[in-house]
Amino acid sequence: MHTELLSIFSKSKPQSKKKKKRNSSLHLQSHSSSKQKKTLIMQPCSREMQAMNSLLNPTQQIPLQDLHINGNRHQHQQIHVPSSSQFQYPTPTSTTHHDDSFLEQILSSTTSFPWSDETGPPNPEDNNNAGFNYDEMVLASKLRQHQINGGAAANPFSAMKMMLMMQQQQQQQQMMLAGRPTVASAAAGGGITTNHQGGEGSMQALYNVFGDGSLHGTMQAKSFVGANSATEMTQSQGSGPTAGEAVTAPEKPKQRVRARRGQATDPHSIAERLRRVRIAERMKALQELVPNANKTDKASMLDEIIDYVKFLQLQVKVLSMSRLGGAAAVAPLVSEGGGDCIQTSANGGSHPRNSNGDQTPSGNDRLTMTEHQVAKLMEEDMGSAMQYLQEKGLCLMPISLATAISSATSRSRNPMINHENPTNGSHLLIQSSGGDGPSSPSMSVLTVQSATMGNGGLEGGAASVSKP
Amino acid sequence: MDSQHLNPSSLKSRFTARFLRALIKINAQKPISSSSPRDIFQRYQRIKVAADKSMAYSVRSRRTWSRATLWKLRSRSRRRLASSGRRSSIKTRTTTTTTTTTTSTNHRAAIVEKTSHEKENKEDHVGLAVQAEELRELVPGGESMDLCNLLDETAHYIKCLTTQVQVMKKIANLYSLE
């Protein structure tokens, strides 16, 4: 049976000749030299796949020989190592077995990475070959080491990343060869998003991949590779890669967050950024809970939240006051702002009102108290004043409107309308029935003349309290 | 109105059950006819405590604020009992709760120090320290948390408060229908 080798093993030379930008899908490449291998039509795979093919084809075929879709196991020796001179890959047979299973696992888990199979004799590269192969060797050894470390089943992704790394390396090499400033869009499978031009980008991509795959203990090799590629890069393209720069992390195994380009990968800054992100998330969640959450500023949002919590606590207090078996109509005026009076008037249970019970018969006193409180609150903080009103089921409205309403309803209802000439302005306090439940149809309007008189600077002018 | 409590184990239904039970108990204890302001105030206090307590109980100890509320209420009741001279019950209670109180106070003291230290050192949220302080005062048990957890607790606390207010409103309406 014939191995269906993946496109990793495609030749480097023909690929280098092809423009990578030409097509996004890997083509089958049938090489006359490779009789053993079949070629498959591949899915739209990135060029890195091709690169990887070419990379891996000449170099390490033993561990990757089983990179096929079907997972054939028999092809240990079918792919011969092209030329041992180029590639010193000391793979003992024991490791090949490791590799087989490991790679099979990879392949079975990631069937979305279809590899076209492509082999060919290793192409005697030009002068870059030495470093090229050295890098490959390093990468291959890393892969092997990774496999040996038993990380196979645990993280096929890192293995994929290693392969991608090799791809990228290959691509870099090829770019160097071709002298084309192609975009090393590293990211094919790993989702690494770099869009840098030329060697710098690929260098970063390389570093990125190195960093993201959990390559423990391969750091020295990385630096080696980095140095190599760096020198080669500078040779070929004269761009100085910035060592140590990091790029944004891929999403998949997000083991740690990398800093943006230009920032230090300082653990403190990372931790702080993480903290900020979490706080932002929580603020967003709070925004949904709190009404009037259209503030974008964090500080004002916090203010809103604080006010809302105060309001809710006040509501609980008021509600617990009013639920006294319906007998006593209690209108406690416990307010934080003005906060001194708890006025309880037992009305003998004439008619138990709703929770925000301001009773009509002797309501004048209470309403005056309310108004006093409101005026006091308004002086200090408009927000809490509004909320105080809100919890009592009151609202401010222009007197003209209130008079209109009261006159409209006073015909059918029990009017207790006291009008006084407002000095200025136009606001009324109108009490709703708390938004639910039955409410008495009577209406009473009271003006807060005293409040306005008392507080000269009060902006709300004449406020009158009316109750539906 | 009762059909809304479809989920028997939701926060709302748990709270409602407990609160109603507490209300019944309160109504049974004291006659409603007392109309002196002091009595009324007392009753109000009891009801409010019952409401907060039942809410905190419904949340168990899963949240810092509920733990703090329960702890506060228990210590307050213990103090009240101490003042009224019922030592035996205090003793039984203190044995069970001393450990928790001491640990919580120590823990809290330590954390307050730590957070104040942190606040001085970490100045990444410069202008929000004031509001964070205020929030800490509002949310029970909020003194011992950093901003991140504080916001979390606040979210849950707001949710519970809204539930509480809803249920209490409905009960009040029921009462007012009579």
Residue A187 lies in a domain: no
Q: How far apart are CA B87 and CA B84, in angstroms?
A: 9
Q: Report whether pLDDT(B87) > 70.
A: no
- For chain A, the average pLDDT equals 54
CB contact (8 A) between residue B44 and residue A330: yes
Give the count of domains, chain A. Answer: 2
Q: Is residue A120 part of a domain?
A: no
| Residue A394 falls inside a structural domain | yes
The predicted structure's pLDDT at residue B141: 77
Candidates B55, B151, B152, B170, partner chain A, best to mutate (most A CBs within 10 A): B151
Q: Is the pLDDT of residue A184 over 50?
A: no
Asked, for residue A463, whether it belongs to a domain, the answer is no
Q: Which of B50, B151, B164 sits opposite A282 (nearest CB)?
A: B151
Go through A328-339 and write b for each residue having 16 or more CB atoms within 10 A of its CB, e for each that does not: bbbbbbbbebbe
What distance separates the 2 farthest-apart alpha carbons in chain B? 59
Residue A422 confidence (pLDDT): 44
Which of A9-18, A231-240, B4-13 tops mean pLDDT? B4-13
CA A267 to chain centroid: 20
From the list A309, A319, A354, which residue is nearest B139 (CB)?
Answer: A309
Q: Across the interface, which of A309, A330, A348 has its CB nearest the CB of B154?
A: A309
Averaged pLDDT for residues B99-103 = 48
Give Rg (Cα) of chain A.
39
Please check whether residue A294 lies inside any domain of the structure: yes
**Domain presence at residue A271:** yes
DSSP symbols for chain B: -GGG---TTSHHHHHHHHHHHHHHHHHHHS-TT---HHHHHHHHHHHHHHHHHHHHHHHTTSSHHHHHHHHHHHHHHHHHHHHHT-HHHHHHHHHHHHHHHHHHHHHHHHHHHHHHHHHHH--SS-TTHHHHHHHHHHSTTGGG--HHHHHHHHHHHHHHHHHHHHHHHHHHHHHHH-
Which of A12, A97, A126, A4 has the alpha carbon at shortest distance from A58? Answer: A12
Flag whether A188 is in a domain.
no
Task: State mean pLDDT over B36-53.
Answer: 79
Distance CA B39, CA A413 (A): 35
Contact check, Cβ <8 Å, B165/A319: yes
Position B62 pLDDT exceeds 60? yes
Which of A346, A1, A396 is CA-nearest to residue B33? A346
Whether the Cβ atoms of residue B171 and residue B17 lie closer than 8 Å to each other: no
**Which two tokens mark A166?**
């090799």
Residue B158 to residue A302, Cβ atoms within 8 A: no
Domain range spanning residue A303?
267-322
Q: How far is B95 from chain A (nearest CA, A)?
A: 32
**Looking at residue A278, which CATH number applies to its domain?**
4.10.280.10
Q: Where are the domains of chain B?
A: 10-78+138-177
Taking contacts as CB-CB distances below 8 angstroms, the residues of chain B near A304 are none
> How many other CB atoms are found less than 10 A from the CB of residue A31?
15
The answer to whether residue A390 sits within a structural domain is yes
Q: With CB atoms and an 8 Å threshold, state whether B168 touches A332.
A: no
Lowest mean pLDDT of B59-68, B80-89, B105-114, name the range.
B105-114
Examine the pLDDT at A367 and tell me if it is beyond 70: no
Examine the pLDDT at A266 and tell me if it is beyond 60.
yes
